[in-house]
Chain A
Amino acid sequence: MITFFKSLSKNMKITLSILGILTVLFVIFALQILLMGLGYTDMDNNFAFGAWIIGDLVLVALGGGAFSTGFVLYIFRVEKLRPLINSTVLIGFMCYLFTFVFLLFDLGQPLRAWFGFAYPNWGKGVYPVSMLTEVFFCLSIYFIILLVELIPTVLEHKVLIQNRYIKTTAHIMHDFMWIMAAAGTFLSFFHQGSLGGGMWGVLFGKAVWYRPHFFFLAVVAAIAGGMSFMTMVPYVAGKILKKELVPMESFRTLTRMSGFMFIAYAVFRGYDLYSMAAYYVPMSGRSFLDLYGGYYGIWMVVVEIILLTGPLVLLNMGRFRNQEKLMITGASMGIGAIIMSKFSVLLHGFSAPNFPWKGFTSYFPTYQEWFITFGVLALMILIYMTFIKWFPLFPHTEEGGGHH
């Protein structure tokens, strides 16, 4: 281990050290939160959710790119995406894994987490009554699917693949992966919608959130933003590793589809804002602009719209998309717009007062919350680096032979 560390470049050493420290801090503060309770967070009875649920929303929304990419590759047979698929699946897997981790931290009683499966709030029909029950089940099943999708990548490790059983298994799994992709897509539609939107949209008591279409808006957002995210991650990884992990052509295909979905998203979001202002908020006896005051309020929506113009222009017009920098800018702005919308849902939603004599509230995570959030990111990067190092995450780069 030490010899391995010594063999690394200076930059890599620094990076690994920082990530390592963050991971250690993550463990320390995780223990504090789990053993001594959520009192150490800045969440309160007003601001019931905080940094971690934002993390959840962002991770799930972006991780959702895994299903859309997988769907396009396996169902529509867009083979250009093939080089990306392993990385995509891994990122999706990690996003969901750490969504679980965040959710666990957010539970006041993490040891009772299994109650979600043991006593689900299903009601009478097939569809669950509680959006969170839906999230519990859907997320778990989808997580298993991602796990299955990830197995071939692990099995294709240069040592393991020499075993012929493993080789056959990996091969067969690859062939049948479209079933997983299809099932994953089906499931994803539900929990993308539920955690990202429906969960908030159904809260009919809260004028700041209630709109029946929020579920579907979140699905569209996940597809649009997710595909951009799936472009960004290998792109950035390639830049760092200074080699072409994925052909530019694959990126273009993905961002083109992402750009198209962003048009749909923009239209939908426009309707969303209009319907809130004109219809749903007044119905609860409030006015839209009064509700969008305080610390977070309307500026977040403005920023979101500005960011949204990026993918709309840069990813949909061929001459911009074909320029690498503009393409990446467009994709980043798209991701930014989605993240901003999630922030807005959370921060603004909780900040808005429930009574006219109370003011807008604010939330600033405590260091425990920051370190747990950053620790999760550090862990994700570490896992991703591990896979790049030891597993065939970008198989086409290895066709020429030799693992670095």
Chain B
Amino acid sequence: MTVKDVKMNRRWGMAIDLDKCTGCGQCSLACNQENNMPIFEDDSDIPKRVSFMELMKVTNDRDAKFPDVKTAFIPKMCQMCEGNDPKNPNPPCVSVCPVVATDVGDDGVVSQIWSRCIGCRYCQTACPYEARVFNWWKPVYEGTFKKSLNPEVSVASRGTIVKCTFCSHIWKRERDRAVAEGKLNINDVTYKTACQSACPNNAIIFGDLNDPESEVAKLSKSKRALRLANAIDLESPEKQKEMRKVKHFSNPKVYYLTSQKWLKDMLNFRKN
């Protein structure tokens, strides 16, 4: 048996417990470090900011008045959409790329090859989650900051789109280690994303959605779970079937868990 003979059975997904998230920001730190995010003297031009994870502070103060207000933090990375059919994934961003710089792997991860990207930003336009960011300026790493760069993630060029890849380079590293140990079944390889391992509150759970025993699969079926701005989830199964005939829905593989009604409403554009 060689590595190539084994079919990938995993379908990586994530469950983020918003009830546990305190908004400490460590996920974002770890992500920036792991993925060699560019360093700028002033990073306050937020619409042009390059980072894979956005820690969004959310409040219901548009509809509610003090003191009936609530705040929450939503860590948002690439939602790893799969379209209507998990077996034949079709995220909004992949089909639009004119140069095949982005694709869905057999493990469900939406990948992006920096060096293939021509920077047309069509995928960014297509993404409903603002998960793709563009290197508007040349990524720079001043002086000794270069020393902390992770060699497993290539530094992107100016003018290319970059995005969260569920730290798939960590998977590759773990796979190589398993292979070196003689374990050739890639399905034995598991890993933790940078944000997950950094979360002090265990709010981020990453794992295999195909494995019904995995924590993430169980959480994704929880009553508290819902997906970000994915209207189809709110409909009955019959209606869902009908809707799927008309169009694709993004159907992310990232689930957000919350027991807060206001947050549930907000995540799907409903007024509260």
Contacts and interface: CB of A to CB of B under 8 A. Distances in A.
Contacts of A41: 136
Given A38-B136, A284-B231, A355-B229, A204 B47 contact: no
B47 A46 contact: yes
Contacts of B268: 285
B138 interface: yes
B135 A283 contact: no
B47 A285 contact: no
Contacts of B231: 283-286
Contact of B98 (A106, A132, A286, A290): A132
Contacts of A199: 122
B128 A205 contact: yes
Interface in A205-228: 205-206, 210, 212
* Interface hub of A38, A136, A210, A350 (most chain B Cβ within 10 A): A38
Provide the main secondary structure of the chain B interface: loop
Contact of B120 (A118, A132, A203, A285): A132
Contacts of B136: 37-39, 41, 43-44
B227 to A, nearest CB: 11
A202 B96 contact: yes
Interface in B67-104: 81, 92-93, 95-100
B269 A286 contact: yes
Interface stretch (B10-18, B152-160, B181-189, B199-207): B152-160
A212 B246 CA distance: 9
Interface of B: 45, 47-49, 56, 58-59, 62, 81, 92-93, 95-100, 116-122, 124-130, 132-138, 157-161, 228-231, 234, 243, 246-250, 266, 268-270
A48 B119 contact: no
A246 interface: no
18 contacts: A37-B135, A37-B137, A37-B138, A41-B136, A43-B121, A45-B47, A45-B49, A45-B133, A108-B121, A109-B157, A112-B99, A115-B116, A130-B96, A206-B125, A283-B246, A355-B228, A356-B266, A357-B58
B97 A121 contact: yes
A46 B120 CA distance: 14
A209 B136 CA distance: 25
B269 A210 contact: no
A41 B230 CA distance: 32
Interface in A80-110: 106-109
Contact of A285 (B117, B126, B269): B269
Contacts of A47: 47
A113 B128 CA distance: 26
Given A116-B99, A204-B247, A49 B92 contact: no
Contacts of B249: 204
* Interface hub of A119, A283, A285, A290 (most chain B Cβ within 10 A): A285
* Interface hub of A108, A120, A132, A199 (most chain B Cβ within 10 A): A108
B134 A108 contact: yes
Contacts of A397: none
Interface string A277-321: 000100111100010000000000000000000000000000000
A283 B243 CA distance: 8
Contacts of A43: 121, 136
A46 B99 contact: no
